Amino acid sequence: MYGLVLIAVGGPFLISLATTYGVRAWARRAEFVDRPGGRKRHESPVALGGGIAFMPAICGPVLLGTIAAWVIHSDGAALDWLPALVQTHLAGIASKLPAIFAIVGGAIVLHLVGLIDDRRPLGPAPKFIAQFAVAIFIAGPVGIRALQVLPVPLSFAATVLWIVLITNAFNFLDNMDGLSAGVAAIAAAIFAVTAARSGQVFVPAIACVVVGGLLGFLVFNFSPATIFMGDAGSLPLGFLMSVVTILTTFYDPARNLTPLGVIVPIVVLAVPLYDVASVVIHRLRAGDSPLRGDRRHFSHRLVKRGMTPRGAVLTIYLATAATGLPAIILPTVDWPIAVLLLLQCLAVVTMIAVLEHTPTDRTA
């Protein structure tokens, strides 16, 4: 088991490390850079194209691994050389090939839309159209839906809205060096453990690949970043994170997983969701468009309170871990314990809100 985890994380990490190094060099030569000015904090041009770097490191292993499982399963040869865990789940992994083609295809579409936007800003409308189109395709023809205990129309609508919400949450979160990638890596690691505890293999493998690909990218993206992911990275990253949450089994009476498990994604992603909600409220109160970029994000507000950018990012990492780690056991505990875990998550988010909005210039 641990060997498989090491391969699933280590392989994408090394790929991402190499591709990010190469893409950064290319972006600098091609003048594909994010220049300082306006609401941007960096003082010199920083390479764009981080999405180009880590997308192959994530999508490549997931796609090739699933194709390999399908080929091996279809061949019908002896499987003694495979780890026992893989042997048990090989048929199930192979059956996921059409869905993986669709997921990777959706990520590529959003990657290309983001790449165009990084080169020449498109505005919010085209990006939203692309997000809804991909989400509708995934929830409709592909049949990947959340809350499948609900009637199909409600499950379909909830899935589309969830995909678009989480896609934008990580797009919003990409406002400071290493922030979006780091939070996504922490969340993906938690989802990997949660899915493994529910008896799944395929979803934890995908989540581990995401962790590895992002860690390799973070070597160059953490403060002070020498390459940004841009919308070409944040849009497909948010999409992939939303799909991981949908594919994970959080409620299964046969495995003693309680209905409260379905709120695990909300608990794990509480900090990104808080950032989306708070920044939209701030913009509306100021009379601005909620979709117009600015420096009202959670991370920016922490910096205004005296933190360094790196300190703000690390604080948000810790907050994500604080809300997310207890969610690992949420599907398996009884209701009183589950309520306590939810109250803990709410307390962390409330504490963040209180601290960041408390005035600092009071006199005694």
The string of pLDDT tens digits covering residues 344-356 is 888 888 887 777 6
Q: For the chain, where are the alpha helices, taking DSSP H only?
A: 2-29, 50-75, 84-95, 97-119, 124-139, 152-173, 179-197, 202-221, 230-247, 264-268, 270-285, 298-304, 309-324, 335-357
Segment 113-137 mean pLDDT:
92
In a domain, 353, yes or no: no
In a domain, 134, yes or no: yes
In a domain, 122, yes or no: yes
d(C-alpha 237, C-alpha 327), whole Å: 21
Q: How many domains does the chain have?
A: 1
Residue 47, classed as helix, strand or coil, is strand
- Indicate the length of the chain as a whole number: 364
User: At 300, is the pLDDT very low, low, confident or very high (cuts 50, 70, 90)?
Assistant: confident
In a domain, 30, yes or no: yes
In a domain, 352, yes or no: no
Nearest to 299, CA basis, from 231, 223, 239, 241: 223
Q: What percent of the chain is modeled with pLDDT above 70?
A: 88
Burial of 5 (0-12, 13-18, 19+ CB in 10 A): middle
Query: Residues 5, 208: contact at Cβ < 8 Å?
Result: yes
Q: Structural domain of residue 179, as residue ranges?
A: 2-258
H or E segment and range at residue 33:
strand 33-34
d(C-alpha 223, C-alpha 236), whole Å: 22
- Ranges 93-97, 133-137, 233-237, 249-253: which has the least confidence: 249-253
The string of pLDDT tens digits covering residues 174-195 is 989 999 999 999 999 999 998 8
Task: Give the sign of the dihedral formed by CA 298, CA 301, CA 305, CA 306.
Answer: positive
Whole-structure pTM value? 0.90
In a domain, 145, yes or no: yes
In a domain, 356, yes or no: no
The string of pLDDT tens digits covering residues 36-82 is 755 556 567 899 999 999 999 999 999 999 998 899 888 776 667 67
Burial of 71 (0-12, 13-18, 19+ CB in 10 A): exposed
Note the pLDDT of residue 232: 93
User: At 294, is the pLDDT very low, low, confident or very high (cuts 50, 70, 90)?
Assistant: low
Q: Which two tokens stand for residue 193?
A: 């453990």
d(C-alpha 225, C-alpha 36), whole Å: 13
d(C-alpha 212, C-alpha 14), whole Å: 8
Nearest to 219, CA basis, from 352, 20, 72: 20
In a domain, 342, yes or no: no
